Amino acid sequence: MEETKGTPQTRAKNKYNAKAYDSLRIVVKKGNKDIIKAHAESNGESINGFVNRAIDETMERDKASTTE
């Protein structure tokens, strides 16, 4: 018999997330996580939201600089 973990709601969320999102793992030096978290929170963001915004803005800036 197959082992199931978590509630049906958790399993459904995990199934949706696996289908809808890619996952990245980033590694930062000790202590930087707290600095990043504080910065994100000071701007009303989660760490994930901040990282996504940083990536989007950097990619947009890089794209603009290559088309000049």
In a domain, 9, yes or no: no
Q: Give the mean pLDDT of the chain.
A: 93
Does 3 map to a domain? Answer: no
What is the extent of the structural domain holding 48?
24-66
Radius of gyration of the chain (CA): 17
Q: Is the pTM of this model over 0.95?
A: no
Instruction: Count up the domains in the chain and report the number.
Output: 1
Examine residue 6 and state whether it is found in any structural domain, yes or no: no
Distance of alpha carbon 43 from alpha carbon 47, whole angstroms: 10
Q: Is residue 16 part of a domain?
A: no
Q: What is the pLDDT of residue 66?
A: 86
Residue 28 binned pLDDT confidence (cut-offs 50, 70, 90): very high
Q: Is residue 47 part of a domain?
A: yes
- Is residue 46 one of the residues assigned to a domain? yes
Residues in contact with 43: Cβ distance below 8 Å, sequence separation at least 6, in sequence order: 50
Q: Which secondary-structure segment (H or E) carries 16?
A: helix 8-20
